[in-house]
């Protein structure tokens, strides 16, 4: 059974996930209130070019750290997608820069939702960082699922501020939703790859690009989890529309070692040189798994990694991010 949703709010509208979500929501006939920090034309031009945008896309400025700034955008909406959140792997990034906006921003958005009688459901986009960050590496025998929670004490000690921001923002969201009667669903996508609709290289595709061009690792074990952007967007829409959707959902299409990623890239694109350090290390590596059972209850059929990889490489080539 589907819920009737006609007007929705999307925060962080100019980003990778939100841009795709807005495009497909417009295609489905939704009216969208989309928030950005700055209404500068360079940030929103691609959104205004989507089919249906002229008639049904309304842009609002809002700041995660300003308590009531989301009120105008959320007022009158039946559904809210909270996607906006800071992210950075820069060594100079601080706890205050990442954790404070993530937690306060989530609470400010939910505060606006609590005041709007029209809101029926809120979808918060979190990350597997809030699910599977542990002190000890996950073993090949383990299967990660929605009952897992990351170790926030270890994240604090390791100064993993991106991870901590996701953990604390999710904790705050569940607490506030419970206290204020908000119907909340939290989605946990992993590294999201796929074609880019906005003009700049987004964070997750940049991680993928660094891996295939330079062999630059962000995972100490070399084990990566990826999901296709189109699967993530489908999950968002289903999480809003399906009455039965509830709780947390892990969104992981594939778990794979970096050497296998590069092997696939090398086979599909012989002209792209595989980073030298991997040429003698393309053996099969056992990886853990992440359960897809609950995600599939939303009707999600995950895109094969080969298809995702080919589509993202073609996009990176077309946009001149990949030099061949």
Q: How many Å apart are CA 18 and CA 51, to the nearest integer?
A: 15
Q: Which residues pair with 257 in a beta bridge?
A: 223
- Assess whether pLDDT exceeds 80 at residue 1: no
- pLDDT for 183: 98
pLDDT of amino acid 39: 86
CA 315 to chain CA mean position, Å: 19
Q: What per-residue confidence (pLDDT) applies to 324? A: 56
Q: How far apart are CA 169 and CA 173, in angstroms?
A: 6
The better pLDDT of the pair 89, 194 is held by 194
pTM of the model: 0.95
Instruction: Flag whether pLDDT at 214 surpasses 90.
Output: no
Task: Taking residues 267-285, report their average pLDDT.
Answer: 69
For 7-193+227-252+289-300, CATH gives 3.40.50.720
- Whether residue 280 has pLDDT greater than 60: no
- Judge whether residue 285 has pLDDT over 80: no
Helix boundaries (H) for the chain: 16-27, 41-48, 53-56, 71-74, 95-115, 152-157, 161-180, 203-214, 229-241, 258-268, 293-296, 305-318
Q: pLDDT-derived band of residue 278, with 50, 70 and 90 as boundaries?
A: low
Q: How far apart are CA 163 and CA 87, in angstroms?
A: 9
Closest CA to 316 of 216, 236, 212: 212
Residues 235-261: tens digit of each pLDDT: 999 999 999 999 999 999 999 998 889
Cα angle 306-309-313, degrees, rounded to a multiple of 5: 140
Q: Tell whether the model's pLDDT for residue 220 goes beyond 90.
A: no
- For residue 294, indicate whether it is catalytic: no
Nearest-angstrom CA–CA distance, 187 and 134: 19
Three-state helix/strand/coil letters over 205-225 = HHHHHHHHHHCCCCCCCCEEE
**Average pLDDT, stretch 110-124?**
97
Contact between 134 and 155 under an 8 Å Cβ cutoff? The reply is: no
Residue-averaged pLDDT of the chain: 92
From the list 43, 166, 213, 294, the catalytic residue is 166
Q: What is the pLDDT of residue 193?
A: 96
DSSP 134: -
User: How many other C-beta atoms are found inside a 10 Å radius of the C-beta of residue 68?
Assistant: 11
Query: With 0-12 CB in 10 A as exposed, 13-18 as middle and 19+ as buried, what is 310?
Result: middle
Report how far residue 81's alpha carbon sits from residue 12's, in angstroms, rounded to the nearest whole number. Answer: 9
Q: Which pLDDT value is given to residue 2?
A: 64
């Amino acid at each position: 059974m589907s819920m009737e949703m006609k007007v929705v709010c999307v925060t962080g509208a100019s980003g990778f996930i939100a841009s795709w979500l807005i495009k497909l929501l417009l295609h489905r006939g939704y009216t969208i209130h989309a928030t950005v920090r700055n209404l500068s034309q360079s940030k929103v031009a691609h959104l205004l070019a989507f089919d249906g945008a002229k008639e049904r896309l309304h842009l609002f400025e809002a700041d995660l750290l300003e308590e009531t700034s989301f009120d105008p955008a959320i007022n009158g909406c039946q559904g809210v997608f909270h996607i906006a959140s800071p992210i950075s792997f820069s060594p100079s990034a601080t706890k205050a820069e990442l954790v404070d906006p993530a937690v306060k921003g989530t609470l400010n958005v939910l505060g606006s939702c609590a005041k709007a009688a029209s809101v029926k459901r809120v979808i918060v986009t979190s990350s597997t960082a809030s699910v599977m960050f542990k002190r000890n590496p996950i073993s090949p025998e383990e299967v990660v699922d929605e009952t897992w929670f990351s170790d926030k004490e270890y994240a604090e000690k390791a100064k993993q501020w991106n991870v901590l921001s996701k953990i604390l923002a999710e904790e705050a969201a569940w607490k506030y939703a419970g206290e204020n009667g908000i119907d909340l669903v939290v989605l946990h996508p992993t590294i999201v790859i796929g074609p880019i609709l906005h003009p700049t290289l987004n964070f997750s595709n940049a991680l993928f690009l660094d891996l295939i061009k330079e062999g630059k690792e962000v995972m100490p074990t070399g084990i990566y989890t990826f999901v296709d952007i189109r699967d993530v967007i489908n999950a968002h829409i289903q999480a809003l529309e399906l009455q039965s959707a509830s709780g947390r959902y892990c969104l992981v299409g594939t778990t794979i070692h970096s050497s296998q990623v590069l092997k696939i890239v090398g086979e599909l694109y012989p002209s792209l040189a595989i980073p030298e350090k991997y040429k003698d290390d393309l053996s099969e590596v056992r990886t853990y798994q992440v359960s897809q059972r609950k995600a599939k209850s939303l009707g999600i059929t995950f895109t094969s990694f080969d298809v995702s990889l080919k589509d993202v490489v073609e996009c990176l080539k077309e946009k001149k991010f990949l030099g061949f």
